[in-house]
Chain A
Amino acid sequence: MLELVDVGKQVGGETHIADVSLTLETGSLNILLGPTLAGKTSLMRLMAGLDKPTRGDILMNGESVLGRSVRKRSVAMVYQQFINYPTLTVYENIASPMRIAGRDRGTIESKVREAAELLKLEELLDRTPLNLSGGQQQRTALARALVKEAELVLLDEPLANLDYKLREELREELPRLFARTGAILVYATTEPHEALLLGGKTATMAEGRVTQFGTTIDVYNRPHDLHTAETFADPPLNTAPVRKRGTELRLGDRTLGPAPESLPDGDYTVAIRPHHVSLQPGSIGGLSLPVRVDSTEITGSETFIHVSMGPESWVVLTHGVHRVDKGQDLSIHLDPAQFYLFDADGLLVRSPRRHDEAA
Chain B
Amino acid sequence: MARITLDALAHSYSPNPTGPADYALKQIDYAWEDGGAYALLGPSGCGKTTLLNIISGLLSPSSGRILFDERDVTGLSPERRNIAQVFQFPVIYDTMTVAENLAFPLLNRGVERAEVDKRVSEMLETLDLTTQARRRARGLNADEKQKISLGRGLVRYDVNAILFDEPLTVIDPHMKWQLRTKLKELHEQFAHTMIYVTHDQTEALTFADKVVVMYEGEVVQIGTPEQLFDEPEHTFVGYFIGSPGMNILPGRIEGSTVTVAGRQIDLGRDYPAVEEPIEIGIRPEFVAVREAREAGTSGVPMSVRTVEDIGRYKIVRGEIEGGRLDAVIDESDSVPTSAAAVFDPARINVYRDSHLLRARG
What sequence of 0s and 1s flags, for each residue 194-220 of chain B, a beta carbon within 8 Å of any chain A beta carbon?
000001111001100000000000000
Question: What's the Cα separation between A310 and B172 when bound, in Å?
Answer: 26
Q: Are B200 and A164 in contact (CB under 8 A)?
A: yes
Q: State whether the Cβ of B319 lies closer than 8 Å to any Cβ in chain A.
A: no
Q: State whether the Cβ of A190 lies closer than 8 Å to any Cβ in chain B.
A: yes
Q: Are B174 and A301 in contact (CB under 8 A)?
A: no
Residues of B within 8 Å of A275, CB to CB, are: 312
**5 tightest A-B contacts by CB?**
A300-B229, A300-B225, A196-B310, A297-B206, A299-B205
Known: A165-B240, A273-B312. A236 touches B177 (CB 8 A): yes
Known: A163-B43, A234-B173. A298 touches B225 (CB 8 A): yes
Enumerate A105-136 residues with CB–CB distance to B below 8 Å: 133-135
Chain B residue nearest in CB terms to A296: B184
Q: Are B172 and A190 in contact (CB under 8 A)?
A: yes
Q: State whether the Cβ of B279 lies closer than 8 Å to any Cβ in chain A.
A: no
Q: State whether the Cβ of B311 lies closer than 8 Å to any Cβ in chain A.
A: yes
Q: Are B173 and A191 in contact (CB under 8 A)?
A: yes
Question: What's the Cα separation between A294 and B239 when bound, in Å?
Answer: 32
Cβ contact of B181, chosen from A164, A191, A306, A321, cutoff 8 A: A306
Q: State whether the Cβ of A37 lies closer than 8 Å to any Cβ in chain B.
A: yes
Q: State whether the Cβ of A295 lies closer than 8 Å to any Cβ in chain B.
A: yes
What sequence of 0s and 1s flags, for each residue 294-317 of chain B, a beta carbon within 8 Å of any chain A beta carbon?
000000000000001111100100
Residues of B within 8 Å of A165, CB to CB, are: 43, 239-240, 245
Residues of B within 8 Å of A264, CB to CB, are: none
What DSSP secondary structure best describes chain A's contact surface? mixed
Residue ranges of A at the interface with B (Cβ–Cβ < 8 Å): 35-37, 133-135, 163-166, 168, 190-193, 196-197, 199, 217, 220-221, 230, 234-236, 273, 275, 294-295, 297-301, 304, 306, 315, 317, 321, 326, 354
Q: Are A193 and B310 in contact (CB under 8 A)?
A: yes
10 contacts between A and B (CB under 8 A): A163-B43, A165-B240, A190-B172, A192-B173, A197-B308, A230-B174, A297-B206, A300-B229, A300-B230, A321-B226
Nearest chain A CB to B217 CB, angstrom units: 15
Q: Are B225 and A199 in contact (CB under 8 A)?
A: no
Known: A35-B172, A35-B174, A197-B310. A166 touches B241 (CB 8 A): no
Chain A residue nearest in CB terms to B245: A165
Chain B residue nearest in CB terms to A221: B311
Q: Kindly name the residue among B173, B227, B241 whose own CB sees the greatest number of chain A CB atoms within 10 A.
A: B173
Chain A residue nearest in CB terms to B239: A165
Nearest chain B CB to A128 CB, angstrom units: 18
Q: Are B205 and A300 in contact (CB under 8 A)?
A: yes
Nearest chain A CB to B174 CB, angstrom units: 6
Q: Are A164 and B188 in contact (CB under 8 A)?
A: no
